[in-house]
């Protein structure tokens, strides 16, 4: 689940520090979605940096967009604001202008970009939301796969050895009779351990999901409460 907060967006240099490859996409729905070691970012089109474009299509009431103008304007503002968080330092700006990415137009300078994007600080988070979205928990659980698979491989080898010893020459197995209870109990312990490990993974997944769900729900309630309080104060004043 997501908290609907744009401040959850990491700048481009931070994406590189986390080992994520930046993938350019023209699909708006994939903007800021990250999966394993990559994140999808939609480039900033040049027309959104044009004052004339905003004046004609997104500000002027007599436009060809009709009833869609308000929704499109909010989406465009939220999209611009996401770049306020993606590019916070000049190093982020340099990454965005790399030839293999070109997230912003090549003729836009650092000073001009800062002057333009600074106005997005006045945009509220209430009407539209762009934030990083992770589509799975695989990266978290992947760190446990190696050690657990190694332990299961060792235990499996031991169990196979026990099975071979018990299967070889049943007629002359008097020397191994005393070890049969040990083998039996050890096999039972391994089986119970495998069940417990599986159960722990299920509980851990449920705990992560519920913890994130509770935090997100509480965050959204606090945000709605603060927004309602601000509106009441404005009406009173």
Q: Are residues 146 and 126 in the same domain?
A: no
User: Does some domain include residue 18?
Assistant: yes
Q: How many CA atoms lie within 13 A of 202 on its CB side?
A: 6
Domain boundary residue among 134, 149, 178? 134
Q: Give how many domains the chain has, as a whole number.
A: 2
> From CA 160, how far away is CA 39, in angstroms rounded?
44
User: Would you place residue 128 in the very low, low, confident or very high pLDDT band (cuts 50, 70, 90)?
Assistant: very low
Q: Which residues contact 103 (CB under 8 A, 6 or more apart)?
A: 12, 22, 24, 41, 43, 44, 86, 96, 97
Using a cut of 0.75, tell me whether the model's pTM lies above it.
Answer: no
User: Does some domain include residue 117?
Assistant: yes
CA-nearest of 57, 36, 59 to 47 is 57
Q: Whole domain around residue 228: which residue ranges?
A: 141-236
> From CA 94, how far away is CA 41, in angstroms rounded?
15
Q: Are residues 105 and 152 in the same domain?
A: no
> From CA 147, how far away is CA 214, in angstroms rounded?
31
In the sheet with 133-134, reading across from the earlier edge strand, the strands are 21-24, 38-41, 33-35, 133-134
Tell me whether residue 34 is exposed, middle or buried, using C-beta atoms within 10 angstroms of its C-beta: 0 to 12, 13 to 18, 19 or more: buried
For 8-38, the pLDDT digits (tens) are: 789 999 999 999 999 999 998 889 988 878 9
Cβ-contact 87, 9 below 8 angstroms: no
- Across 89-113, average pLDDT: 94
Cβ-contact 13, 89 below 8 angstroms: yes
Q: Are residues 127 and 98 in the same domain?
A: yes
User: Does some domain include residue 1?
Assistant: no
Q: Are residues 216 and 173 in the same domain?
A: yes
User: Does some domain include residue 175?
Assistant: yes
- Across 46-62, average pLDDT: 85
């Amino acid at each position: 689940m997501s908290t609907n907060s744009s401040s959850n967006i990491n700048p481009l240099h931070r994406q590189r520090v986390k080992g994520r490859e930046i993938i350019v996409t023209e699909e708006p729905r994939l903007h800021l979605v990250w999966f394993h070691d990559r994140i999808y970012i939609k480039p900033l089109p040049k027309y959104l940096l044009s004052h004339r474009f905003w004046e004609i299509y997104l500000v002027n009431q007599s436009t060809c967009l009709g009833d869609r103008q308000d929704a499109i304007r909010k989406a465009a503002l939220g999209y611009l604001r996401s770049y306020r968080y993606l590019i916070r330092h000049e190093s982020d700006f340099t990454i965005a202008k790399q030839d293999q990415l070109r997230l912003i137009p090549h003729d836009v300078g650092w000073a001009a970009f800062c002057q333009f994007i600074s106005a997005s600080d006045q945009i509220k988070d209430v009407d539209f939301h762009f934030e990083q979205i992770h589509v799975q928990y695989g990266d978290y659980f992947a760190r446990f796969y190696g050690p657990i698979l190694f332990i299961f491989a060792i235990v499996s080898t031991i169990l196979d050895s026990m099975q071979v010893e018990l299967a070889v020459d049943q007629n002359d197995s008097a020397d191994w009779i005393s070890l049969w209870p040990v083998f039996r109990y050890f096999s039972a312990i391994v089986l119970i351990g495998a069940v417990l490990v599986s159960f722990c993974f299920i509980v851990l997944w449920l705990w992560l999901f519920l913890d994130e769900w509770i935090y997100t729900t509480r965050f959204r309630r606090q945000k709605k409460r603060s927004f309602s309080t601000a509106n009441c104060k404005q009406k009173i004043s």
